[in-house]
Each structure stands twice: as structure tokens, then as C-alpha cells.
Amino acid sequence: MQDSLFKTLKPEEVPEFQAYAHDNWTPNTAPELIWHPEVRKAWRTMDVIANAVANVYEVCAPKIKAMPSNVDADIAVETVADAFTTHADPEECDLWFCLPHKVRNRIVHQIVGGYY
């Protein structure tokens, strides 16, 4: 479906479409072509970040796996996030910091949840 078929959003409407993508994002799932281009763009951004976080996870995985099993999962998430900002490509870091905090946490929880 061509993007020109969709409504042109006013700047104040964009966050609502991004929020839809943030709330409904599922890793490794392609965005639907019938979704508004802003939703698809936000979805793809989260996919890029998730892939980058997964790659960086390999750097800190031994540290996380060495943590006691009763450690709060948020500590593992912080460990991945810190490693990401240290080891990721600068462009990926720019995308990372453009995402709301709750979305960044959700992405990292998806990655850590699969490994931790």
C-alpha cells in the first residue's frame, strides 16, 4: 500500500501513532502494510534497537548469567542498557534515546527475558 494513501498527520497527531506502535510492538514481527506509515516507522525503529540490544547482550551475557537467580530482573535490564549505550553504534544510540523510557525497558526485557 502506498504511503500517499494515508492521512498526512499534523505534528501533534504523530505521538498517538507512535504510542500505538510502542504499545503493540512484538519482536521479530513485520509491521502490517495497512498500518499508517508513522506506526510502521516506529515499529521498524524498535526492531532495529532490539536487534542491536540483542547483539550487545552477548557482551554482558556472562555477567548477567553469573547473577544470583533471585536478583531483580531490572538489574539485568540496567546492565544490558548500560552495555548498549557503551558498545552500540552511535546511530543506534541516537534511536535508543529517542524512544520513551518505558519502551526502552520493554525492548530490553524482551531480550533479557529470552536469555535470563
Helix (H) or strand (E) holding 88: none
pTM of the entire predicted model: 0.77
N-terminal to C-terminal alpha carbon distance within the chain: 39
Q: What is the pLDDT of residue 114?
A: 59
Instruction: Kindly give the parts of the chain with pLDDT less than 50.
Output: 116
Q: What is the pLDDT of residue 1?
A: 64
Domain ranges of the chain: 50-116
The one-letter amino acid code at 29 reads T
Residue 57 vs residues 33, 48, 50, 91: alpha-carbon distances, Å:
30, 14, 10, 18
Quick one: angle between helices 73-87 and 101-115, nearest 10?
A: 110
Helix (H), strand (E) counts: the chain: 5, 0
Q: What is the pLDDT of residue 69?
A: 72
Q: What is the pLDDT of residue 116?
A: 43
For 26-45, the pLDDT digits (tens) are 888 889 999 999 999 999 99
| CB-CB neighbours of 61 under 10 Å | 17
